[in-house]
Amino acid sequence: MNEFNLVLDKNGLVVAFLIVGALTWLTNLFSKKVLNSRIPGSAIAIFLALVLGYLGGVWADGEKGIADIPFFKGLGTLGGSMFRDFAIVATAIGASFMLIRKSGFLGLISLVLGIGIFFTVGAALAWIMGYRDAVSICTIAAGACTYIVGPVTGGALGASSEVIALSIGTGVVKTIAVTIFTPILAPKIGLKSPGSAMAFGGIMGTSSGVAAGLAATDPKLVPYGAVTATFYTGIGCLVCPSLFYLILSAIVG
């Protein structure tokens, strides 16, 4: 038994392939047999993975969900930013450069619109919940953009670590919300073509959430959503601690 644990411990990434493979096999079977394919297997698998992430947090009390438990640690590598970005880039192989160029301008508009919506609504909620200083409101509102924009903005403005942690939490909730709501709402909002996926990526931002949500909706749309979403965090880091902070401090006083 000791030797077996040693093998598992040494080959975390390979264990992760086995776990994810087994999970998708089960969820595909469940989707086909029980749900008549009404909900895609991958959507169920992503949702179950979020549940595992929660349970991992409860059991191990760490920061990386289930990946903090030694047996599952390979999931942290497989789901880390390097593999995530590498695989997203690979999805471009199924995309058409012509279509991306055609919808490029609308992608840009949707980026600006998206950051504006998330920042404004985030700031309004922070105000309603009792925050009155511009630095805290700005950091929380930036967290409503993505979980990277929040801490970058908070760090630049000198927000308290408590507020920065809150902004990261907000950003993670957003990623989860986009992942879950996208496949449910896609048919109702007209998200069905490459062009609309590009606008969607720009409005929603969070590359992880957009890419996971689109993967559960229609995998063909992933590269189009990802190509605009990838600019969202960068632009957010640019405007939140500067332009948006100045506007906000003029309003809050």
Site for another protein in 155-214 (CB under 8 A): 165-166, 168-179, 181, 185, 188-196, 199-200, 203-204, 207-208, 211-212
Residue from 8, 39, 117, 252 binding another protein (CB under 8 A)? 117
Residue 24's identity, in one-letter code, is T
Taking the complex as a whole, the smallest distance from the CB of residue 202 to another protein amounts, in Å, to 10
Where does this chain touch another protein (CB under 8 A) — which range of 3-11, 31-39, 100-108, 244-252?
A: 100-108
Q: Which is nearer to another protein, 3 or 182 (CB)?
A: 182
Binding of another protein by 136 (CB under 8 A): no
Taking the complex as a whole, the smallest distance from the CB of residue 193 to another protein amounts, in Å, to 5
Binding of another protein by 227 (CB under 8 A): yes
**What contacts 74, CB < 8 A, 6 or more positions away?**
11, 12, 13, 14, 15, 16, 17, 19, 67
Binding of another protein by 234 (CB under 8 A): yes
C-alpha–C-alpha distance, residues 85 and 65, integer Å: 20
Q: Are 229 and 206 in contact (CB under 8 A)?
A: yes
In this structure, the number of other CB atoms found within 10 A of the CB of residue 128 comes to 8
End-to-end CA distance of the chain: 65
Identify residues 59-98 at the interface with another protein (CB under 8 A). 63-67, 72, 75-76, 78-80, 83-95, 97
C-alpha–C-alpha distance, residues 228 and 211, integer Å: 11
